[in-house]
Chains A and B, each alone.
Chain A
Amino acid sequence: MDGLRFDKLRVLVVDDNQHMRKLVIAVLQAVGVRDLFEAADGETAWKTLRDTNPDIIVLDWQMDGMTGLEFARLIRNSPRSPNVYVPIIMLTGHTHVDQVRQARDAGVNEFLAKPVSVKAILSRLVNVVEHPRPFIRTKTYFGPCRRRRAVTAYAGPERRKETTLVD
């Protein structure tokens, strides 16, 4: 059956809770992801990111030391970032709308609320692969488009003035 080629993906799982790491990794292994990397904190994750160049990052928000939000901002904005475009799926127990907004503003692509389900994990993966969002660069933000739908489908008033489309 037609489906995502999970075996082609390289995924980095960053979570300071080893049980959640194990769970997410077990699900990814089961569907065929072979190149899996893990880190328990932001500093280790940054080194792993530079060493392994993953295609996707599954990132916990609440970690000791560097938080997931800080790590996401570092990936998107640091001149030393190996891949500022890497899709970030944020794994979190925070579900309040303000917190979702904070994650979006940090450059997160997808939001995966705990408790996680297998279906939710896989659907976020499918989404970042099959439905990549355009990137936006403004004076104050760099990251995936924060509008949920495709830009061309937006029918409301234009708040982002004089957008330049870049090939």
Chain B
Amino acid sequence: MAIGEKPQIFMPPISLKAKAGSASGTLAVNPEALKKAEMAMDGLRREFADWLAEDIAALAKAFVAFTQDLSPENAGALFRAAHDLKGQATTFEYPLIARVAASLAKLMDGMQSWEAAPLPLVAAHIDAIHVIHRDQIKDASNLIALTLAEELEGRVVKTIAQASFKQCAADTRAS
């Protein structure tokens, strides 16, 4: 179809509202549906511990692969494993694992090159996640785990800033 100069605005031809919408068109979630779904989520909670353990094992495996070969593929796999934990660990009742994983994902995402990612700092994140899991620290205000998370976050910020500064300096010299 040729696209004209003028923007076109139109309603999609397929109406889900006609197919599955409520009679009143309310935007509120039906309380009965919400209750059923909450019960389904509660039913899954007994599996959360196994799921989290599997996700942590996947992260550890991705880290080992990355240390053996600093390839973009392995770096990407490590970032995705950290990013998964960042998004899911809170649901699996470990908010501080989510926080440490978020810090690791930020580190992997923030480095100018994969090779520049400092392995000891990456390893420290993974160790912290193992410890929080091993000690079953589910309380987001646990002082020791919180201090550890904050320390790691601070180091990540500093590391990314230093890497960015080095890159700028190199760019300036080259130009």
- Bound pair (A, B): yes
Report if A135-B10 is in contact (Cβ < 8 Å); known contacts: A2-B26, A9-B20, A31-B33: yes
What is the distance, in angstroms, from A117's C-beta to the closest C-beta of chain B?
Answer: 8
Report if A115-B5 is in contact (Cβ < 8 Å); known contacts: A3-B22, A26-B40, A27-B41: no
Report if A93-B21 is in contact (Cβ < 8 Å); known contacts: A151-B9, A165-B9: no
Interfacial chain B residues near A151, Cβ < 8 Å: 9
B13 touches A126 (CB 8 A): no
Interfacial chain B residues near A135, Cβ < 8 Å: 9-12
Interfacial chain A residues near B36, Cβ < 8 Å: 30-32
Of B85-93, B116-124, B136-144, B152-160, the one contacting chain A is B85-93
A167 touches B10 (CB 8 A): yes
Chain A residues numbered 37-88 whose CB sits less than 8 Å from any CB in chain B: 55-56, 62-64, 83, 85, 87
B9 touches A8 (CB 8 A): no
Question: Does B51 make an interface contact (CB < 8 A)?
Answer: yes
Interface residue count on the B side (C-beta < 8 Å): 56
A129 touches B39 (CB 8 A): no
Interface residue count on the A side (C-beta < 8 Å): 61
Q: Enumerate chain B interface residues (CB-CB to A < 8 A).
A: 3-17, 19-34, 36-41, 43-44, 51, 54-55, 76-77, 80, 83-84, 86-91, 98, 102, 105
A-B contact pairs, 25 of them (CB 8 A): A2-B30, A3-B33, A4-B21, A19-B54, A19-B55, A31-B36, A93-B83, A93-B84, A115-B87, A118-B37, A118-B38, A119-B34, A126-B29, A129-B21, A130-B21, A132-B17, A136-B7, A136-B9, A138-B7, A139-B5, A145-B9, A161-B6, A161-B7, A162-B6, A164-B8
